[in-house]
Amino acid sequence: MKLKVEENNYEINIGQNIDQELKDYLSKNKNRKIALISDEYVYFIYRNRLHNILCDFDYDIFTFPQGEKSKSMKTYSEILEFLSENDYSRGDVILAFGGGITGDLAGFVASTYLRGINFIAVPTTLLSMIDSSVGGKNGINFNGLKNQVGTFYFPEYVHIDYSFLDTLKKRDLNNGLAEMFKYSVLKDKNLFEILKNNEKLDYEYLIHRSLEIKIEFVKDDIRDKSIRQHLNLGHTIGHGIEGLSKYEINHGEAVGIGLIYVSRAAYKLGIASEPFYKDLIEEFKKYNLPTEYDFKTDEILEIMKHDKKIKDNKINLIIPTEIGNTISKTLSFNELKNIIELGKEI
């Protein structure tokens, strides 16, 4: 199943066991060198499959330790050095193979090495398949804050093979489902019903539908100044929780908790119904997703002060009103504080 992102000139290919299609894609430019960037763990699991895909090409491998800690200025510099030492030129290509951390790191490298080198994303986690591999955002953590440094830069090709999900731990799979719930709350009642009722998940459909929703919000606002900010549903509080937990709570989980808090606050403000947030909690529990996190409001506000979309000391919060509908509110930090307090269970 293919999805063309006309606006930014790239193609997303979704399928199962489609290594040959990646090979065919790479064969179109036989002369390019390929820099495979991956984390040690994912590379180790798939090393044979990767060598089969890449054996006909001139390629080099760079791996780094798995985990959020690698999304750093240090690893960024190391990858740049690796490319420079191996004489990579602008005509060559970086292939990111892994989850969101790999894609964000490799994408940032791709956008800045020689002011931009070709970039292919092969996401291997559900979360990166439906979120970070598409939309052009990349980055590293800096000064203790998430994604503080990065760019907007698009891959030329995104290869989504959901057979890679077979090796994913249950918790990591659910991490992706939380973000999928976010898409459903944003835009699609039907998707919510599917997630609610489905015994066996149809990944091809779910990934495709999630990306359709994402692309709709991104295409007219790449630089995240207006409509794209709706994708941030659950993220404002979620990023704070992720940070406070020192990434013990992973991204999808944290966004899920953020979504519940903001939905509960919406109910208390009288703009959403009670069953709405209670339904969410029930569904999250089914998927073993956490639904709360204990934090001090002032601590989380401290992290939010570094939100990338703050302007004139105001922050935009995306608030759901029902499944399939959200509004954007520009708030002072005092108003935000009240909403977070409302979001906590009493």
- Residue numbers at the binding site for a second copy (CB under 8 A): 31, 73, 77, 80-81, 84-85, 87, 89-91, 108, 111-116, 137, 139, 142-143, 145, 147-152, 223-224, 305-312
Distance (Å, whole) CA 293 – CA 242 = 10
- Shortest Å distance, C-beta 72 to a second copy: 11
Q: How many CB atoms lie within 10 A of CB 183?
A: 24
- Shortest Å distance, C-beta 114 to a second copy: 4
Distance (Å, whole) CA 246 – CA 231 = 23
Residue in 317, 177, 292, 299 with CA at minimum distance from that of residue 234: 317
In this structure, which long-range contacts are made by residues 208-212, counting pairs with CB atoms below 8 Å and at least 24 apart in sequence? 208/1, 208/3, 208/14, 209/183, 210/130, 210/131, 210/179, 210/180, 210/183, 211/3, 211/12, 211/14, 211/130, 211/134, 212/3
- Shortest Å distance, C-beta 10 to a second copy: 15
Distance (Å, whole) CA 139 – CA 128 = 14
**Which CB sits closer to a second copy, 23 or 308?**
308
Total residues belonging to the chain:
346
Residue in 171, 324, 336, 187 with CA at minimum distance from that of residue 262: 336
Distance (Å, whole) CA 2 – CA 322 = 31
**Which CB sits closer to a second copy, 13 or 72?**
72
- Shortest Å distance, C-beta 152 to a second copy: 6
**Which CB sits closer to a second copy, 72 or 273?**
72
**Which CB sits closer to a second copy, 128 or 174?**
128
Distance (Å, whole) CA 100 – CA 207 = 15
**Which CB sits closer to a second copy, 149 or 271?**
149
**Which CB sits closer to a second copy, 113 or 217?**
113
Residue type, 179: E
Distance (Å, whole) CA 71 – CA 214 = 24
**Which CB sits closer to a second copy, 10 or 43?**
10
- Shortest Å distance, C-beta 282 to a second copy: 36
**Which CB sits closer to a second copy, 48 or 313?**
313
- Shortest Å distance, C-beta 288 to a second copy: 33
R_g (Cα) of the chain, nearest Å = 20
Structure tokens at 253: 């989980």
- Shortest Å distance, C-beta 308 to a second copy: 4
Q: Give the CA-trace dihedral at 308, 232, 264, 237, to 10 degrees.
A: -30
Check: CB of residue 73 under 8 Å from CB of residue 142.
Answer: yes
**Which CB sits closer to a second copy, 98 or 150?**
150
- Shortest Å distance, C-beta 293 to a second copy: 25
- Shortest Å distance, C-beta 228 to a second copy: 12
Which helix (H) or strand (E) segment is 183 a member of? Answer: helix 170-187
